[in-house]
Amino acid sequence: MTTPRFAVAAIGNAIVDILAHADDTFLTAHGMAKGGMALIDEATADSLYEAMGPAIEASGGSAANTAAGIASLGGAVAYVGKVNGDLLGRVFTHDIRAIGVHFDTPALADGPATARCMVLITPDAERTMNTYLGACTRMTPEDIDDTVIADAAVTYVEGYLWDQPDAKAAILKAAKAARAAGRKVALSLSDAFCVDRHRTEFLELLSTTVDILFANEQEICHLYGVASFDEAVEKVRGQVGLAALTRGAAGSVVVTADQTVEVVAHVPDAVVDTTGAGDLYAAGFLYGLTTGRSLTDCARLGGLCAAECISHVGPRPQVSLADLVKRHLG
């Protein structure tokens, strides 16, 4: 098997985040489930934007954040995601290429606008998301370049994509190309509400297609319908080769058939915004995995990248993660 050109090929919804601070009263008034992600239409996105306080716009999207983190660590990474050729689409394209990610998915010439996610950050640093998917809904199998997928050690897919039938087909095409090339497939569960929508299909994917799973404590418990994290650990152990499970301030747990590796969290100076924490954990973990580090070091890398992410507003690194790793982990 040839040496891959990319450490990771990430596939996800290409989204521009619009982030603002809000209190719990605002969430309640607008019928939002705190900490979750709801899909909204364009009219709702426009009205919510009018109601929000002062905002910051930042390129986001779960898998795109992971790709950006890997690039900041010094890894070679590709990204597949659909934007419109509008202003936000051009912003997204500029931002992801500027950080060093290979991105050449053709933009829509017309049709739905580039996706945007209204992120409300409450005083406890929790983030509640309302997403207009727009152009993301137009991703199809034609957007998957088999040569790029075959040239990546790991193809990483965000669970949010499973909300769109054409995107499902694109994921399955990518997974087939990855397996044909002898590469690995990784899945992030993305969100507990997403898990609830697609539990049966996700469980089937774990049994047939996925080599590496990323999930937080709530997501993995929802996946198996159990109240105990320990129960979920034992269930996932028998279903997927490698699971990296995050537990917020309690750190993370890495599970294989014969190992359980527990790693404490890296504590930032302040917790400002948890948007993208899981995405950057995945970035650090996958970078470690594709550069031959131990599972313990992979989890430590993930925790360090997540800590940098939650120390500021926005889901992308604000410092060189490669330099950060040198200072803290060597």
Model confidence pLDDT, tens digit, residues 234-256: 999 989 999 999 999 999 999 99
Average pLDDT over residues 70-86: 97
Specify the pTM: 0.91
Q: What is the pLDDT of residues 101-152, one digit of tens each?
A: 999 999 999 999 999 999 999 999 888 989 999 999 999 999 999 999 999 9
CA distance 267 to 242: 25
Q: What is the pLDDT of residues 281-314, one digit of tens each?
A: 999 999 999 999 999 999 999 999 999 999 988 8
The pLDDT of residue 193 is: 85
DSSP state of 110: S
Average pLDDT over residues 24-32: 95
The pLDDT of residue 127 is: 86
The pLDDT of residue 1 is: 66
CA distance 78 to 71: 9
Q: Give the alpha-carbon dihedral of 229, 268, 323, 294, to 10 degrees.
A: -20
> Partners of 103 in the beta sheet?
79
Which amino acid is present at 209? Answer: T
The answer, yes or no, to whether residue 330 has pLDDT greater than 80, is no
Tell me whether strands 102-103 and 77-80 are parallel, antiparallel or unpaired. parallel
Q: Give the alpha-carbon dihedral of 200, 315, 45, 110, to 10 degrees.
A: -90
Alpha-helix runs per DSSP H in 209-259: 217-224, 229-237
CA distance 69 to 279: 8
Catalogue the E-assigned strands of 71-198.
Answer: 77-80, 102-103, 115-121, 127-132, 152-158, 184-188
pLDDT band at 53 (very low <50, low <70, confident <90, very high): very high
pLDDT band at 221 (very low <50, low <70, confident <90, very high): very high
Share of the chain above pLDDT 90, in %: 85
Average pLDDT over residues 181-196: 93
Q: What is the pLDDT of residues 145-182, one digit of tens each?
A: 999 999 999 999 999 899 888 999 999 999 999 999 99
Share of the chain above pLDDT 70, in %: 100
Question: Shortest CA distance to 115 belongs to which of 81, 146, 165, 145?
Answer: 81
Which amino acid is present at 61? Answer: G
The pLDDT of residue 281 is: 97
The pLDDT of residue 324 is: 93
